[in-house]
Structure 1
Amino acid sequence: MSVSAPSAANTSLKGGFLAAIFLMATSAIGPGFITQTATFTAKMGAAFAFAILASIVIDFVVQLNIWRITALTRRRASDTANAAIPGAGYVLALLVLIGGLAFNVGNIAGAGLGLNAMMGVDPKIGGAVSALLAIGIFLSRRAGLLLDRMIIGLGLLMIVMTVIVALTTNPPVGEALRQAVLPDTIDFATITTIVGGTVGGYITYSGAHRLLDKGLVGEENLQAVTRASLTGIAVTGVMRFVLFLAILGVVASGVTLDLSSQAANPAAQAFASALGEWGLRVFGVVLWAAAITSVIGAAYTSVSFLTVFGEMDDRGRNIATVIFIAVSLVVYLALGKAPASILVFVGGFNGLILPIGLTIFTYIGFARSDLMGGHVYNRPLLIASAVVCALTWYMGFKSVGTIFSFLLG
């Protein structure tokens, strides 16, 4: 018995970290990122590699600091913010909830696009069916277990299938690597949108809050939390470049992707151009897997911020999550915008939320060691956080007009 108990504990610990890694990874590689990548690669070509690299660097700094500080404070982000700056947690919670709702509308749109590509289902019907499936998971008595297994399983499926597709194209890898460092053009609105779609809004906190719910917190777990965060960032980073290269190979071959019509689905066009009918079906599976896991992740994480307004037990949170998904579905069905345009917009919108939360956490790291159990936080990481914080504020300021022109269009 003395041997089996630690073994069971280690298995639970690894499972908790794996669930957090994949929740963060599948949220960061959702339908928004896939559609944004296709749209911007078609517009910018290899120069878009710079935005991809920038998003990975920003992701590294943001996720590493927020996961670590959340583990040390043993509180959800909104509670931590309130303790550091009275009232800040309420503001952060409202922003994340609004951004999470916007993201989830986009995620449901992505699920609809995925089923459309996979089986020819009308996107609105596909989005509705996918949302109802997500609701069914949270109504289950074993919601936590179903959440972890579905996130991990679909995350692996999405990664494997995208790698297979990428291997069949012939992208100009050398040119992409050059442009990643020395781009011909730099578009701040594009960078803000792609950063928002990969680490903005609720995504920043998805893995960290999952660790909290698993009890993997405190200085005793700090090294493991750091490793898990780095692993998640590595997985998402590789996946982002693989997807970009796959689409770049199609664009570089001379194929022109349709970005103008209401029915435009540029990522689906890229996969179909590379592999024909089979490629379109594969794309449908990849996009749907990315979308349904992101629907679940967005709802789960956004609702976790509601606890700042009052305590909620697991049943209450599951009911609130169901309502959140249902509201997202209603908004999606009522919108007249094309699904692809929704997915591009929500990334930009959530990119504007990112610097607010990061500013609060950077301040905590510098000045509020009392909230971290007296832990003196790593100074180089904090300096990097301050630099990225300033950068995200600047990018947000530069791109506000471009992003919100969506609302007027």
Structure 2
Amino acid sequence: MPTPSPAPSVAAASLRGGLLAAIFLMATSAIGPGFITQTASFTARMGSAFAFAILASILIDFVVQLNIWRITALTGRRASETANAAIPGAGYLLTALVVIGGLAFNVGNIAGGGLGLNAMFGLDPKIGGAISAALAIGIFLSRQAGLLLDRMIIGLGIVMILLVVFVALQSNPPVGEALRQSVWPDYIDFAAITTIVGGTVGGYITYSGAHRLLDKGLTGERHLPAVTRAALTGIAVTGVMRFVLFLAILGVVASGVTLDLSSQAANPAAQAFQAAAGDWGMRVFGVVLWAAALTSVIGAAYTSVSFLDVMGVRSDAARSRATVVFIAFSLAVYLSLGTAPAAILVFVGGFNGLILPIGLTIFTYIGYARSDLMGGHRYNRVLLALGAIVCALTWYMGARSVSTIFAFLGT
């Protein structure tokens, strides 16, 4: 009797590994230094009522990511190529926006890496930023860049979750009140929802996991159920992380501690961690911020460069070179700027809020009218209807982002 082939189990393991890598790449990209800073600031100002904004952002993210991941898997092309095929020239516009937004975001991510190492070891933030960028470059220069990328993203993502859970337990938040206000808030702050959504699913973040799935070969209608589950799992992981981080800071605020929000130099998230767990809490904050920053640097560089396929950057070697240049340029901008990291993160959050509605509009159009690009697949009409609603909402958020950008440029 012939020996059974091990191929199915190997293929299943590869599928699971690819899905897990995509999930954590998207999740860690969505929880960067900007999100951590925004969560601390809004929680200090709104208290338990901010739980509604967290829940609303998660629901919006579910719709956005499900549509982007599923349509990308069905087309088997990167977002820029799909956009060009649907509307000639749209892919070049989307690429320009994502790359510019990714560069801007990476300046803030590198700044976050510097602040994280400063909290851990007292290093000068500029030196810490340079070390973080150098480590990211080293990963992409490695001969096993893909394997290192996946392991680094997954490992740091797990570390972030465990440490934030620890601080949340230490701060003893009013969980019952937070759950109530997540569905029945005392008041609703639409600006908070706008900011959080723009910072967690705007710009390159929308496409990070979807493009990782393409690199793993998880395309076509036969993989659609697995892709759907991965998208749902990724948003669930991100949502849990967001809510636990909120609870960690809420416990501190509810205990009567006042976080300093009065200056750009203030770091409310660091203050909250320190109040919850003393000096050791400050070290934990440093690890969390640095892990969030490094994974976001990697995610921004990887995803932004993946859009350059339409510009002819297709080989692995060419992508690696472009990624190194991308990170090095971001570092050079950070080192040359005198602007406070908090101000950088405000600007890039506003800019990336402009990118989301453009890309989502293109993908919604493809789902409705271009089944030919999806192998003849008739896309789920319920998801498309939800996508259209969220698309209109993101245009509103994009309009608000314009005012944020002009405010930043005027300072």
Alignment TM-score, normalising by the size of structure 2: 0.97
Identity of aligned residues (%): 81
For the Cα contact (< 8 Å) 1:193–1:344, is it kept in 2?
no
The CA deviation at 1:164 is 1.1
Which amino acid is 2:115 matched to?
Answer: L
Q: Does 1:146 align with 2:119?
A: no
Number of the residue aligned with 2:31? 29
The CA deviation at 1:332 is 1.1
For the Cα contact (< 8 Å) 1:109–1:127, is it kept in 2?
yes
Number of the residue aligned with 2:84? 82
The CA deviation at 1:2 is 2.8
Number of the residue aligned with 1:335? 337
Q: Assess, with a 3 A threshold, how the Cα gap between structure 1 residues 377 and 51 changes in structure 2: closer, same or farther.
A: same
Number of the residue aligned with 2:256? 254
1:47-126 pair list within 5 angstroms: 47-126=49-128
Q: Structure 2 stretches of 5 or more lacking a match?
A: none
Deviates more, 1:139-148 or 1:337-346: 337-346
The CA deviation at 1:223 is 0.3
Number of the residue aligned with 2:307? 305
The CA deviation at 1:400 is 2.8
Which amino acid is 1:368 matched to?
Answer: R
- Would you identify which runs of 4 or more consecutive aligned residues in structure 1 move more than 6 Å? none
1:91-121 deviations in whole A, cap 9, x for unaligned?
0110111111111111101111111111111
The CA deviation at 1:251 is 1.2
1:247-267 deviations in whole A, cap 9, x for unaligned?
011112121112233432111
1:377-388 pair list within 5 angstroms: 377-388=379-390
Deviates more, 1:48-57 or 1:316-325: 48-57
1:308-323 pair list within 5 angstroms: 308-323=310-325
Which amino acid is 1:373 matched to?
Answer: G
For the Cα contact (< 8 Å) 1:110–1:127, is it kept in 2?
yes
Number of the residue aligned with 1:291? 293
Which amino acid is 2:87 matched to?
Answer: I
What CA distance in whole angstroms lies between the structure 1 residues aligned with 2:203 and 2:250? 27
What CA distance in whole angstroms lies between the structure 1 residues aligned with 2:400 and 2:7? 55
Counterpart pick for 1:129 among 117, 128, 131: 131
Counterpart pick for 1:218 among 195, 209, 220: 220
Q: Assess, with a 3 A threshold, how the Cα gap between structure 1 residues 290 and 145 changes in structure 2: closer, same or farther.
A: same
Structure 1 SS opposite 2:339: coil
What CA distance in whole angstroms lies between the structure 2 residues aligned with 1:264 and 1:110? 14
Counterpart pick for 1:366 among 365, 368, 379: 368
Q: Assess, with a 3 A threshold, how the Cα gap between structure 1 residues 294 and 366 changes in structure 2: closer, same or farther.
A: same
Which amino acid is 1:378 matched to?
Answer: N
Which amino acid is 2:370 matched to?
Answer: R
Structure 2 SS opposite 1:96: helix
Deviates more, 1:66-75 or 1:100-109: 100-109
What CA distance in whole angstroms lies between the structure 2 residues aligned with 1:318 and 1:371? 29
Count of matched residue positions in the alignment of Structure 1 and Structure 2: 409
Which amino acid is 2:383 matched to?
Answer: L
Structure 1 SS opposite 2:265: coil
For the Cα contact (< 8 Å) 1:112–1:122, is it kept in 2?
yes
1:181-222 deviations in whole A, cap 9, x for unaligned?
333443333322211111100000000000001111000100
Q: Structure 1 stretches of 5 or more lacking a match?
A: none
